Structure 1
Amino acid sequence: MRILYVITRSDVIGGASVHLLDLAVGVQDAGHEVLIVVGGNGVFVDKARERGLTCISARHLVRPLNAINDFRFYLELRRIVLAWKPDLIHAHSSKAGIVGRLVAKMMSVPCVFTAHGWAFTEGVSSFRRILYRWIEKTVANLTSKIITVSDYDRSLALRLGVGDADLIVTIHNGMPSVKEPCFVAEASNVTRLIMVARFDAPKDHLFLVRALASLANSDWTMEFVGGGPTMPQVKRLVAELNLQDKIFFPGPCSDVSERLSKADIFCLISNWEGLPLTVLEAMRSGLPVIASRVGGVPEAVTQHETGILVDKHDHEGLVSALGTLIGSRDLCSRMGMMGKSRFFSDFTFDLMLQRTLNVYSDVTKV
C-alpha cells in the first residue's frame, strides 16, 4: 500500500508531529510505502529524514487561513498525488486536513483524517470555534474515516454534528517502548517536578507557576522542558515571584526520557488538549501525573490512582494536588507504578499501529 501523509507545520515538533513520525516509521516497517508532505522546511523535515522517511516540503502549506496560499497548496498537493499515485491519503492537523480531503475527493483517493484535538474544542476562542466547526462539518463527509485520539473528541464531534458515528473512530495515542535510562536516584528530600511542553497555546505554564509559588517554602524544584513564544513571559513571572532558584528552563531537549527518569512528578497544565503524548511518556517512565481535566487526559490518568486531575483554572485544587504529592515518596511511587502498568496495557505504540492499519485496510478494502 502507498500512503501519503500530510501535516501542516515543520517549524515545531509537537504532539501531532511526534505521532506522525512514529506512525510513518511503523507503517513503513510493516512493508508499506510512505511519503510525507509538510509545510515548510523546518526541523520536522530533518527528523523525518533521520528516521529514513521520504519527506516533501510544500511551499504553500502554511498554518494561517489564506485563500491564495491555500489554493496554491491545493494545486501543489494535487500535482504530488498525480505523480505519486497513493492508495490512501492520511491527513493530520486542521489545515492539512482540510486541503488534503478536498484533493482526495477530487482525485478519488480514500482519505483518513486524524484530529489531534479539534480546533473547535472547549477553551478555544469563540470565533475560532464557530469558524472551524463550520469548516469541519463541511469537509467531514469528504473523509473515508475520521480518527480521534480520545473518546472526548469523538463525543464532541458527534454532539456538534461533525460527522456521524460510523465515520468517526477513536484510536488512543500510543508511544513506542524505550530502553529505560540507567539512573540511580540520589537520596534527597527535594521533590523534582517536570513539565514537558511547548510554551504556547494551549499550555498554561503561568498558572502552574502561580500555584507553585503558594508552596514556595516546600522542598521542590520544577523543570520546564521546551521552548516557544510564551517562555519570556513565564520567566518574568518566575523572577517576580523570586523562584529562580527553584524553577529551571533547559529549553528544548533531546534527552527527555532521561530527564523524566530523574523526576518524581510530571505536570501538564493546559486549557485544552487532545490526548497529550507527554502524559503517556510520563506514565511509561513510572511518574505520577498532575494534569488539567481537559480533553482526553482523564482517559489516560485515573484520578487518585495514577495521578491527580485538576479542573481548569482551579488554583486551590492545583495547589492541593501539588501539596499532596510533594514530599510523598511512597504515594508518588505507588501512583507511578500504576500509571506504568496502565501505559503498557492500553497505550503502547503497537496497539495504536495495528488499529490504524485496520482502518487503512477498511477504507481501501485491501
Structure 2
Amino acid sequence: MNILFFASDYKIGLSTLLTDQLLALHRNGINVYPVAGEKNQEKGLEEQIIAQKIQLKRIHGLDDHKNFFRLVNDIKEIIQTEDIRLVHVQNNWQLAIIAVVKLKLYFLKKIKIIYTLHGFRHNSFIKSIMAQFIIGTALFLFADKVICMCQYLKKKFRFLSYKIIILPLGVADMFFQDKRPNTPKNGLQIIFPAQFRNGKNQDLIIKAFAKHIHENKDSESYMILPGNGPLWEDMKKLASALYLQDRISFPGLCSKRQTKELYLQSNIGIVSSNSETFGQSIVEPFVLGRCILTTAVGVAPDIIATGKNGFFFRNQDELTILFDKLYKDQSIIDKTGENNFLKGKMFQWDNIIQDYKKQILNN
C-alpha cells in the first residue's frame, strides 16, 4: 500500500520528529511518499530523506494555511499519480485538504485517512473545550483512524474510541545505546527542555530548586533549562533574583543532538507542565536511563510507577520535598534511572512501526 505522509506542520516546516517517523516507515518496508512545505525545523532533515532514496515532495505554502484550493489540487494530483490509498495527516489544515480531495475522488478511488492527534489548546479551559469539539467533529466526519499517543488523549476524545488506536511517538535513534550512559553522581543534575510559555511552569521548578539549595546548603546540584519563548527573559530574571544565576543555565533553543548531550550531563529529567499531549521531555530522558520527576501529564501516567522509575508532583512544595529526598539518598536516582533504561526500547521507532502495521495497514 502506498502512503502519502504529511511530514511538516504549521510554521515549523519539515519536522524532526516526523522525519524520524517517515524514515522508520520506509526502513520497515512501507511505501511512503512524504510531502512538506518549504521550511525545515532543523538543518539536514531533507538530506537524511534523500540519502534513503525517498522522494520528498515540497509543496509551496503547505504550512502557511493559505491558497486552500490550490493545495487541494496539488495533493489530488500526487494521490492520483502515485496511486495513494492511505493518507497520514498531522493537523486540521491537512485533514481539511484531504477531506476535499477524498470527496473529489469519491467515485474514482477509496482513500483511507489516518490522523495523529498531536495537540490542542489545553492550557486554557475554554479554548480546550472548543478545540476538542471542533477537532472531534472533524475527526468523526473524515478520519478513518485516529492515533492517540497516550491514554490521556484517548480520554479527552472518548466519544471517538471506536476510531482510536494508541501508538506512542518514538524517540530518535541517536538516543538508544546498548549500555546505559554513565549517570552523574554529583547531586541533582536536572534538565527540562521546553518552550518558555504559560503552562510549562519553569518558575515552579526554579523556586523549588532555590528552596532546596538554600535549606540543604547544596553546593553540587545544577539545572539546565533549554528552550526559548516569551517567558525566557522572565525566568532568567527570576533565577538571578533567587541567587541562582550560577546554578541554572538557559542555553536557548537546542537541536535534538544538542539536547541529547545535555541529557547526558543530567541525572534527572523533569516536567512541570499543566498539560502535555505526549511529552518528549518525559520519554527522551526515560530512554537514556534518567530518573523522571513529572506532573501527571501526557504519557507519564502510562509509564511512570512512583518510586520504581520516577515520581509525580503536583506543586512546588511536593517538588521541593522530592529534591530533598533524592539529594539525601542519591542511590534512588540511579536505581530509578536504570529501570527506565531497561524499558526504553518501547519508544524505538522500529518497534512502534510494527504496531503501526498491525493496527493500521493490516486492518
TM band (smaller chain): 0.7 to 0.9
- Letter of the 2:337 counterpart: G
* Distance in 2, Cα, partners of 1:180 & 1:256: 19
Residue-pair matches, total: 348
1:72-96 CA-to-partner distances (Å, cap 9, x unmatched) read 5434433433443322111113433
CA deviations over 1:47-104 (Å, ceiling 9, x no partner): 14324354334333347xx6x5445543443343344332211111343344334434
- Distance of 2:248 and 2:354 partners within structure 1: 40
Q: What do residues 196-232 of structure 1 show as CA deviations (whole Å, max 9, x unaligned)?
A: 2233465332322222222232331101123344322
1:293 to 284, 292, 296: 296
Specify the code of the residue in structure 2 equivalent to 1:103.
Answer: V
Separation (CA, whole Å) in 2 of partners of 1:214 and 1:100: 52
Corresponding residue for 2:206?
209
- Residues 199, 73 of structure 1: CA spacing in aligned structure 2 closer, same or farther, 3 A cutoff? farther
- The residue that corresponds to 1:127 in the other structure is 127
User: Using a 3 Å threshold, how does the CA distance of structure 1 residues 150 and 322 change in structure 2: closer, same or farther?
Assistant: same
Normalised by the size of structure 1, how large is the TM-score? 0.83
| Residue of structure 2 equivalent to 1:274 | 277
> How much has 1:125 moved relative to structure 2?
4.3
Whole-angstrom distance in 1 between the partners of 2:140 and 2:356: 19
Q: Identity over the aligned pairs, expressed in percent?
A: 18
> 2 CA distance for matches of 1:180 and 1:280?
17
Secondary structure at the aligned position of 2:36 is classed as strand
- Structure 1: how far apart are the matches of 2:184 and 2:205? 26
Corresponding residue for residue 324 of structure 1: 325
Within 5 Å, which residues of 2 pair with 1:7-86? 7-9=7-9, 12=12, 17-43=15-41, 46-52=44-50, 53-62=54-63, 69-86=67-84
TM-fit CA distance, 1:25: 0.7
Further displaced range: 175-184 or 132-141: 175-184
How far the C-alpha of 1:112 sits from its partner, in A, is 0.7
Mapped contact 1:181–1:261 kept (Cα < 8 A): no
Determine helix, strand or coil for the equivalent of 1:304.
coil
| CA RMSD, Structure 1 to Structure 2 (Å) | 2.9
- Cα distance in 2 for residues equivalent to 1:12 and 1:200: 17
Per-residue CA deviation, residues 150-181 of structure 1 (Å, 9 max, x unaligned), is 122112201xx3x2x32111112333462369
- Whichever residue aligns with residue 356 of structure 1, its letter is Y
**Cα distance in 1, alignment partners of residues 73 and 128 from structure 2:** 26
CA deviation after TM superposition for structure 1 residue 259, in Å: 2.6
Asked if structure 1 preserves the Cα contact closer than 8 Å seen for 2:16 and 2:45, the reply is: no
Partners of 1:7 and 1:44 lie apart in 2 by: 13
TM-score (norm 2): 0.84
Q: Distance in 1 between matches of 2:320 and 2:101?
A: 49
Please tell me the residue identity of whatever aligns with 1:339: N
- The whole-number CA distance in structure 1 between the counterparts of 2:8 and 2:198 is 17
**Mapping 1:155-194, distance limit 5 Å:** 155-158=155-158, 161=159, 163=160, 165-175=161-171, 176=173, 178-179=176-177, 188=186, 190-194=187-191
Give the 5 Å matches for 1:335-350.
335-344=336-345, 346-350=346-350
**Structure 1 residue 290 displacement after superposition:** 0.6
One-letter identity of the residue aligned with 1:337: E
Q: Which residue of 1 aligns with 2:262?
A: 259
Q: Are the equivalent residues in 2 in contact too, given 1:37–1:55 (CA < 8 A)? A: yes
Q: Deviations over 1:4-55 (max 9, x none)?
A: 11155375499xx444222211111122332222344133584143243543
Secondary structure, in 3 states, of the residue corresponding to 1:326? helix
Q: Which stretch shows the higher mean deviation, 29-38 or 268-277?
A: 29-38
